[in-house]
Structure 1
Amino acid sequence: MKPGTKSIAQPVKPAEQTRRRGMREIATSIGVAPITVSRALRHPDKVSPETRRLILEAIEREGFIPNQLAGGMRSAGRIIGTVVPPLINSGIAEQVQGMSDAAHERGYQLLLMQGDFSAEAEEKAIRALLGWKPAGLILQAFVQSDAARLFLADCGSAIVEISEIRGREPIDIAVGVSNFDTAYAMTAHLADKGYRRIAFVSTPIHGNDRLQQRRIGYRQALVDRGMFFAASLEVEVPITPKGGADALRIIMDRDPDVDVIFCS
């Protein structure tokens, strides 16, 4: 595949999927009635703290996901859920608008949850969305949490991961580009133009597989050409005007001889 070429990864289903336990099984496992489990979730003040603690522990242990459409919500329209990072990123905002428009045109509602790139926040958001029994989920990165991957593989909904496609197997469908290839090509292009000290600026990389692969591609292109490489030339800043100004100041303070900056 040529650098930067869009690709759709083929669905790969886990070899083994576990049966999700329901409210009745949760109740039986701790010796209470199903109605007690229901009360603990919907009216926690009507259940003793100790009983609620046992119920919540069982729910966490068994991966039980309450159905948010139960009890008067069954008339809700078809839902597509999505988990997105902070909307300060204009590119994400455009994606959300596009998803919303497409969903509306086809008679679906878009249910949006905002999270960060940590596995804990991701799993919490996915659990909440699955409680609404969505027709599908659109996720802004490959799912990191093993528990969340099991929930998704077993939920029966279509799952689309918008992310880095290099070296990863999607739960269902992945749509994206090779960020490694595009960053490698960009760095190689700058080197071919005669730039010798190339700095790299990005938003915070932790938990973001796309940014991770861009940085790896940048580094590999420098290594392959025997060019100067130093961690001091890599800067992570917020995606704001101030962040951009700070990145420029930091790089020039660290190495005034930098002759080009690759802003990822």
Structure 2
Amino acid sequence: MLQDAPTLTDVARLAGVSEITVSRVVRNKGPISRSTRERVQAAIEKLGYVPNRAAGALASAGAPLIGVLLPSLSNIVFPEVLRGIHTALASTGYQPLIGVTDYDPVKEQEILSSLLAWQPAAIITTGFEHTDASRRMLSSSKIRVAELMDTDAEPIDIAVGLSHRRAGFDTGRHLISRNYRRFGYVGHDWNADHRARLRYEGLRAALDEAGLELKAEERFDGPSSTMAGRETLAALLSRKPDLDVVVFSNDDMAVGGFFHCLSANIRVGQTLGLFGFNGLDIGQALPLPLSTIRSNRFAIGRIAVEKLLETGQRPAEKLIVDTGYEIIAGATA
């Protein structure tokens, strides 16, 4: 059963101050001692309290809002998700409020608090990795919440995406069926990209089932990029030159790996197989189309909005929508 959202009165009671003091802290108005401000902020975080800034402003203007939190707009994956969101919202009268978290849960918490203060009709966020305070705010708000890209955990309300662990497992089985046996892995920062780690775990599970193992792996300490993929594959092959296939954390990294192979005169698809994830156009535009998995990013954004707007009330039953994926055989593995 959904609990009532915490109120300003609840915060005041927990912090041991007056409601006026809480209001001043929330609005950052008037002289407040540092210790009092810290007590109030701690109570706000513990309760998941969100002030209603819309009451005297935006709500009276009659502009319904959907809060959208994405980890990046430079990664082509998320603009495609946003395009799906925009398409589904186009004829509804709802307007998106967009925040970019840079894969930082603390930054997500800060943006989320600001978005919820405007009392949006719904919040769309990415993945299940939230701070405790963010989860409390989302859980207690009672508004509709969609967590995108992943289905490997229980959602707050709705999850729309795919099982990354299963995608990694199917990657391993596909490559094993093509007679690859000496596997390597090239990845990027798992702290920022939890879904990449789930795919890695699925790959390991598929290899283990077949009595195989990763012969070598190398991870770049930072976000994925073409240059990171090129440099990291070079480092991997300098240690383990006899691999017959390398699985990359995503297509950005795999495209960089392809360029390394060109410069090192490694025959891709013959001497060494390369496999990515996401199904980006750039991978399919290579001289040899990249072998990869294509996720349904546009559909993820579109379906999330459609499901959120089916009812304004959060249902008792949580919903998981699996948008699936497609293995692209390509020519690199």
Q: Which TM bucket (shorter chain)?
A: 0.7 to 0.9
- 1:20 matched to 2:13? The reply is no
SS of structure 2 residue aligned to 1:111: strand
- Report the counterpart of residue 31 of structure 2 in structure 1: 47
Q: Percent identity?
A: 31
Out of 65, 68, 72, the residue aligned to residue 79 of structure 1 is 65
TM-score, structure 1 as length reference: 0.81
Deviation at 1:33, TM superposition (A): 4.3
Q: Is the 8 A contact 2:71 2:102 kept in 1?
A: yes
Out of 196, 203, 211, the residue aligned to residue 226 of structure 1 is 211
How far, CA to CA, are the matches of 1:203 and 1:251 in structure 2?
13
Q: Is the 8 A contact 1:77 1:108 kept in 2?
A: yes
How far, CA to CA, are the matches of 2:144 and 2:11 in structure 1?
26
- The 5 A counterparts of 1:206-221 are 206=191, 208-221=193-206
- Report the counterpart of residue 127 of structure 2 in structure 1: 141
Aligned length: 246
- The 5 A counterparts of 1:107-118 are 107-118=93-104
Deviation at 1:32, TM superposition (A): 4.6
Q: Is the 8 A contact 2:151 2:163 kept in 1?
A: yes
Q: Is the 8 A contact 2:218 2:233 kept in 1?
A: no
SS of structure 1 residue aligned to 2:146: strand
- The 5 A counterparts of 1:56-135 are 56-74=41-59, 75=61, 77-135=63-121
Deviations 1:153-194 (A, max 9, x none): 22121111113323x221111111222222212222212222
Q: Is the 8 A contact 2:123 2:145 kept in 1?
A: yes
Deviation at 1:143, TM superposition (A): 4.2
RMSD (Å), alpha carbons: 2.4
- Report the counterpart of residue 253 of structure 2 in structure 1: none
How far, CA to CA, are the matches of 1:185 and 1:63 in structure 2?
39
SS of structure 2 residue aligned to 1:70: coil
- Report the counterpart of residue 244 of structure 2 in structure 1: 259
SS of structure 2 residue aligned to 1:214: helix
SS of structure 2 residue aligned to 1:200: strand
Deviations 1:91-112 (A, max 9, x none): 1121123213322331111111
- Letter of the 2:237 counterpart: M
Structure 1 gap segments, 5+ residues each? 1-14
SS of structure 2 residue aligned to 1:88: coil
Structure 2 gap segments, 5+ residues each? 250-333
